[in-house]
């Protein structure tokens, strides 16, 4: 599985960004996709996850109500809509592919290269 993120960049606090993750290489619709982020000097943390059919989503408390994860299996793409961003959201964002939902990075076998999101106050 190959994962390629896009959509990162610099934005002011209160603004919006949409990240995309294009997947290729194997069946996509039966698996779980997750978004993680890693800020300098911090561990990689779970941000959001979505089930194979998009019917179940998961979020870390700090982004609930602000971020929305979605997927389009026809396009083999998962999205992270980030609204009302805060400086604390600054990090490298990674998408990941796994067989079962988990908030642990170790549960995900395939990872994208990451995309930088920088939020200024």
Mean pLDDT of the chain: 94
Q: What is the pLDDT of residues 47-66, one digit of tens each?
A: 999 997 878 999 999 999 99
Q: At residue 27, does pLDDT exceed 80? A: no
At residue 107's C-alpha, the angle toward residues 105 and 111, to 5°, is: 60
Parallel, antiparallel, or unpaired: how do β-strands 9-12 and 115-120 relate? parallel
Q: At residue 11, does pLDDT exceed 90? A: yes
Percent of the chain with pLDDT over 90: 83
Task: Determine the 3-state secondary structure of 5 from DSSP.
Answer: strand
Q: At residue 117, does pLDDT exceed 70? A: yes
Residue for token digits 């610099």? 10
In DSSP terms, which residues pair with 50 in a beta bridge?
33, 57
72/54 Cα distance (integer angstroms): 8
Task: Determine the 3-state secondary structure of 89 from DSSP.
Answer: helix
Least confident of 42-46, 59-63, 70-74, 85-89: 70-74
């Amino acid at each position: 599985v190959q994962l390629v993120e896009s959509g990162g960049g610099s934005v002011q606090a209160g603004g919006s960004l949409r990240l995309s993750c294009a997947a290729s290489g194997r069946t996509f619709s039966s698996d779980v996709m997750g978004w993680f982020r890693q800020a300098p000097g911090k561990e990689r943390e779970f941000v959001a996850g979505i089930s194979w059919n998009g019917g179940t989503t998961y979020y870390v408390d700090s982004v609930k109500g602000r971020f929305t994860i979605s997927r389009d299996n026809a396009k083999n793409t998962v999205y992270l809509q980030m609204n009302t961003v805060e400086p604390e959201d600054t990090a490298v964002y990674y998408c990941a592919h796994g067989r079962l939902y988990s908030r642990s990075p170790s549960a995900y076998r395939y990872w994208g290269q990451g995309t930088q999101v920088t939020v200024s106050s």
